[in-house]
Amino acid sequence: MSAQRTVPADTHLLSLSGRRIAVRVEGEGDPLLLLNGMTRPLQSWDLFTKSLHGRKVISFDTPGVGGSPTPLRPPSISELGAVAMSVLDAVGVDAADVLGYSHGGAVAQQIAHEFPTRVHRLILVATSCGMGATPGTGGAILRGLGGPVEGHAWPVPDLLGMFWQSLAVSAWSSIPFLGTIAAPTLVVCGTRDRVVPATNSKVLAGRIPDAVLRMLPGGHDVQRGESATELAAIVEGFLSTGRTAGQLPLCG
């Protein structure tokens, strides 16, 4: 339904379960699956991944974003989770650490619920439980859709793809299963986030057993400049030791 998509030279367009998905794999080491924010292509992780070391980083464009064509009907969050699992299958990874940012955080929670044996550790960044969450302000949400990170061109967002993503998360909630998530979990948010207010991260960290909350003095966009570097350091610390400097453990 969408126009012909182009993908970067380091990205492969794979046929997975009837969909064409743009996939990129970088580095060597323990696998880390990245799940993007709304309308954000896999290139949005470039600054973050450059600051990671010793990881096999797997990223992809969700259907309707970047190099992945827009589907004829809206996929649910559960279906997007299944797409992510088909990506892992395609690159020969049985289980991985999973990091979801914003909209991708919803998909990450669903994966941890539906495919617990495939998630080593879970990292939820600037995200929420979906229905029942504290909403952001309209203007901030529009600005939060973002644009190219410094020096990195992004594809023009597909409006139908963006609508499909919005529809998926508007009909979804993780509240019923947060207490059953077994993977060690890190929740990260900005104290001044107006897109997904920090209250939502506190809810996630409070309901997921033994979750760790890390609050940063910033807003929603952690994929730019020093924020991307700081997030990478926090993620490295958590994946290496299970803890981060400045963490705030919360009880459910």
Sheet containing 96-101: give its strands across.
12-16, 19-26, 55-60, 30-35, 96-101, 119-125, 185-190, 212-216, 248-249
- Residue 3 in any domain: the answer is no
Q: Is 194 within the bounds of a domain?
A: yes
pLDDT for 8: 64
pTM of the predicted protein model: 0.88
What is the per-residue pLDDT for 251?
33
Ranges of residues in the chain with a pLDDT under 50 are: 1-3, 140-141, 248-252
What pLDDT was estimated at residue 3? 46
Q: Tell whether 2 is covered by a domain.
A: no
Is 187 a domain residue? yes
Give the position of tokens 């952690």. 222
235, part of any domain: yes
Cα separation of 41 and 178, whole Å? 27
Residue 69 is predicted with a pLDDT of 95
Q: Report yes or no on 4 lying in a domain.
A: no
Mind listing the pLDDT tens digit for each residue in 18-28? Answer: 899 999 999 99
Give the model's pLDDT for residue 124.
98
Task: Report pLDDT for 134.
Answer: 80
Per the structure, the complete domain to which residue 81 belongs is given by 12-249
Angle at the Cα of 155 (from 10 to 60), degrees rounded to 5? 45
Domain containing residue 230: CATH number:
3.40.50.1820
| C-beta separation of 216 from 227 below 8 A | yes
- What was the pLDDT predicted at 217? 83
Q: What is the pLDDT of residue 104?
A: 97
Domains held by the chain: number: 1
